[in-house]
Amino acid sequence: MKVLILGGGGMLGQKLARRLIENGLNGDATPEITLHDVAFPAERFPGVEYKTGSIADPGVMEGMASLRPDVIFHLASIVSGEAEIDFDKGWQVNMHPTWALLQALRSEHDASGGAYVPRLVFTSSIAAFGSPYPERIGDDFLCAPQTSYGAQKVICETMIADFSRKGFIDGLSIRLPTICVRPGKANLAASSFFSGIIREPLSGVEAVLPVPDTVRHWHASPRTAVGFLTHAAGLDTALLEGRRALNLPGVSCTVAEQIDALREIAGAETVALIQPQPDPAIMKIVEGWPRDFDPVRARELGFQAETSFSDIIRVYLEDDLPNAKSG
């Protein structure tokens, strides 16, 4: 089985590649893996094909499609904060290449006489939603994004659903919760602090908390996100009944509850490294974000997440903190 990961150099792409190497995919213990991204970490996985470039460059998606991957994980995008700052770049990276990919896959489908129908797993986001919300967002709630990033995600979801309905591909979009605790450095995502206030103190470093601790949000660990991706790759999409975008399970908690969990695991001294420093710009963005979901469909389809924020911190301690300390 051939597997392509677009955005394969990113945090999630790397963890996904590692999982595929260790566990295989859809019953194939040794899938042929190709990673595409603008850049990669220095340490490379043996036996994996690397392709470097921008998905926004002409011909790139046609080249990727010509590999005829059986499964494509499309994780490539610029993050919400960057798409807000650079409007053109947001659309150029987060929308147009998805269209080019779909058209290229459709050409391969046609050239194969209809035999080639790849599974496409697209990482969408809870940024597809915009306030006002019910306290818990149900599976039937409208998408009304309040960021360009969210708008681009909704548009890609809609294209993928239509190309799938026509039988050119077999795609689905999974709306990831905010991934927490992200290893590595803070990024331009407005949500970056949710990881920062856990990650930095656990490494003995101060972290800024730009919002009140009453803010409630929706989280899953990187390990769980990789589980979502591999589960989506093997899902019987007939069960989606034409609705190919899914709200995924996660943990709803307040920042205060995040901090309580950190205190319980790492002590008051660690928590003391969190510096409240209200940032009106970030507060305004975060106020517009979902707080809680009731993802009935995804749970019925077998997607599983952590059930407490303590579990999310423990995943970080097991999977990423050792590398952070050695790095």
Q: Residue 155 interacts with a copy of itself (CB under 8 A)?
A: yes
Q: Does 142 bind a copy of itself (CB under 8 A)?
A: yes
Task: Decide if residue 16 touches a copy of itself (CB under 8 A).
Answer: no
Pick the closer one to a copy of itself by CB: 37 or 82. Answer: 82
Q: Least distance in Å: CB of 86 to a copy of itself?
A: 12
List the alpha helices (DSSP H) in 60-132: 60-66, 80-85, 87-94, 96-111
Note whether 262 and 198 are within 8 A (CB): yes
Return the SS3 of 78.
coil
Residue 203's φ and ψ, nearest 5 degrees, are: -105, 10
The 10 Å Cβ neighbour count of residue 117 is: 17
For a copy of itself, the binding residue among 146, 237, 254, 304 (CB under 8 A) is 146
Classify 28 as helix, strand or coil: strand
Decide: 183 and 320 in contact? Cβ < 8 Å.
Answer: yes
Q: Which stretch binds a copy of itself (CB under 8 A): 25-33, 50-58, 140-148, 311-319?
A: 140-148
Identified catalytic residue from 50, 116, 133, 149: 149
45 binds a copy of itself (CB under 8 A): no
Which segment (5-13, 150-158, 252-260, 274-282) binds a copy of itself by CB under 8 A?
Answer: 150-158
Q: Contacts for 89-96 with beta carbons within 8 Å, 24 or more apart?
A: 90/148, 90/149, 90/152, 91/148, 91/152, 92/56, 93/54, 93/55, 93/56, 94/148, 94/149, 94/152, 94/153, 94/156, 95/152, 95/155, 95/156, 96/56
Report the alpha-carbon distance of residue 301 to residue 72 in Å, rounded.
20
Asked whether position 87 contacts a copy of itself by CB under 8 A, the answer is: yes
Residue 165 in the binding site for a copy of itself (CB under 8 A):
yes
Residue 144 binds a copy of itself, judged by CB under 8 A: yes
Instruction: Answer yes or no whether residue 237 interacts with a copy of itself by CB under 8 A.
Output: no
Residue 10 beta carbon to a copy of itself: minimum distance, rounded to whole angstroms? 24
216: left (phi > 0), else alpha (psi -120 to 50), else beta?
beta
Interface with a copy of itself (CB under 8 A), residue total 26
Helices 148-165 and 87-94, interaxial angle, to 10°? 20
Asked if residue 143 binds a copy of itself (CB under 8 A), the reply is: yes
- Minimum distance from residue 126 beta carbon to a copy of itself (Å): 14
Of 174, 155, 184, 153, the closest CA to residue 83 belongs to 153
Instruction: Identify which of residues 87 and 296 has a Cβ nearer to a copy of itself in the complex.
Output: 87
Which of helix, strand or coil describes residue 142? coil
**79 in Cβ contact with 188 (< 8 Å):** yes
Min separation Cβ 146 and a copy of itself, Å = 6
Least Cβ distance, residue 147 to a copy of itself (angstroms): 8
Task: Tell me: cis bond preceding 46? Omega within 30 of 0 counts.
Answer: no
Q: Does 141 sit near a copy of itself (CB under 8 A)?
A: yes
Does residue 149 have an active-site annotation? yes
Does 184 engage in binding with a copy of itself (CB under 8 A)?
A: no
Nearer to a copy of itself, 107 or 304 (CB): 107
Our CB check for a copy of itself shows the closer of 151 and 282 to be 151
* Number of Cβ atoms within 10 Å of the Cβ of 273: 17
Residues marked as catalytic: 149
Instruction: Give contact residues for a copy of itself (rule: CB under 8 A).
Output: 87, 130, 132, 134, 139-146, 148, 151, 154-155, 158-159, 161-162, 165-166, 241-243, 245
